[in-house]
Amino acid sequence: MPLDAAAVQQLRGDLGGDAGAWNEIVAGAIKELPDLLRQAREAASKGNAAELRRAAHTIKSLGRMFGDAALTAECLSAEQRAAAGDIAGASTLLPRISDLAQQTARDLTALLS
């Protein structure tokens, strides 16, 4: 699912059209996504529900900021499962979250000024 154009425009507007700030935020998100995915996988493999919940929450926030409804929904589900201690259930969502996050990173790369 592509990024929501209205959410992207809203964020650009919130930045007052500052291309430098926009590029910094987008580049930061692109850089952070792989690290967050790694953290989520590591937390799941170690049985660390709190760390898994935190990683899912942060990925969800990035998805929401750019209007990626599919990534946001999958991460919300993983976050809720991890918060309930259902590490196995949250772990089953990680491949889909990874695919969606990679697509988000590609979509964000296209938006760099």
Rounded to two decimals, the pTM is 0.93
The CATH topology of domain 5-111 is Four Helix Bundle (Hemerythrin (Met), subunit A) (1.20.120)
Q: Are 101 and 59 in contact (CB under 8 A)?
A: yes
Sorted by where each begins, the domain ranges of the chain are 5-111
At a CB cut-off of 8 Å and minimum separation 6, what does 18 contact? none
- For 58-94, write each residue's pLDDT tens digit: 999 999 999 999 999 999 999 999 999 999 999 999 9
d(CA 55, CA 38): 9
Q: Would the pLDDT of 1 be above 80?
A: no
pLDDT, one tens digit per residue, over 7-28 is 999 999 999 989 999 999 999 9
